Structure 1
Amino acid sequence: MGDLLKSMTVSASGLMAQAQRLNVVSQNIANADTPGYQRKQSEFQQMFDTFDGSDGVAVLKISLDDSPFKKIYDPTHPLADTTGNYDGSNVNTMIEVADAREAQRSYEANLRSFDNARQMSRSLLELLKR
């Protein structure tokens, strides 16, 4: 029974980490057209719980991407310099959509794993009742 609970703990940590990743990706997509917006990235770290001996994953930190900003030519824009250019964001929506899809699939895999462990725990408890 303990191993099933450990697997549920690991799956739950994966669910939380991927939910945080999806939150960061959605912020990036929402601000893709905001001038000067820097893309955010989630960095994961393996966690070890000394209480029950289970592993897991957590978001270590959210860092800013230091790739260059897109230069946009629009002399009428209030942020434009003397050459008519201003800094757009460094968000690539294709990368964000791919990251969102990967995070979604990882979330779903963790959810299926959690649900399988829950069903096995329930079946084990029913067997022990007999």
Structure 2
Amino acid sequence: MSDFSNALSVSASGLKAQAMRLRLTSENISNADTPGYRRKTVAFNAVREETGGPEKVEVGRVRLSRTDPVDIYDPGHPLADDTGHYKGSNVDLMIEIADAREAQRSYEANLKMFDQARKMSSGLLDLLRR
């Protein structure tokens, strides 16, 4: 594989990983008020192909947060127990917004890297055509 192909594949793997992270963050935000919902997170792993190419980002398993859900007091809620409490979600909107912003910026950086590699390979092809 050429260096241009390597750069494109590395940035494409980063785009895929950050897109997954943004998807999970949006799921967490949309379910922040769902009783019993647990925050989802994903881990990234660096993997190298057997051919000795560059390290790429691989999306790991989706995991549920182990943080305890918030106890909410609402005696009129259908899920409330005898004491009037029910388990809310363990999603913190401030953390989710920060994660979404970080994932967005990482996605944009990978997109710029992809675009630069594409422009460079296009420029090289133009030079070779002359």
Normalising by structure 1, we get a TM-score of: 0.96
* CA deviation profile, 1:79-127 (whole Å, cap 9, x unmatched): 1111111000000011000000000000000000000000000001111
Q: State the AA in 2 paired with 1:96.
A: E
Percent sequence identity is 57
Total equivalences in the alignment: 130
* CA deviation profile, 1:41-81 (whole Å, cap 9, x unmatched): 01110121224612210111110000011010000001111
Structure 2: state its 5+ residue gaps.
none
The reply on whether 1:26 has 2:29 as its aligned counterpart is no
Give the alignment of 1:66-81 within 5 angstroms. 66-81=66-81
Give the alignment of 1:5-84 within 5 angstroms. 5-51=5-51, 53-84=53-84
- Tell me, in whole angstroms, the C-alpha distance in 2 between the residues paired with 1:21 and 1:52: 27
Q: State the AA in 2 paired with 1:22.
A: L
CA RMSD of superposed structures (Å)? 1.2
Structure 1: state its 5+ residue gaps.
none
- Tell me, in whole angstroms, the C-alpha distance in 2 between the residues paired with 1:45 and 1:61: 10
Q: State the AA in 2 paired with 1:122.
A: S
User: Hey, which bits of structure 1, 4+ residues long, moved more than 4 A?
Assistant: none
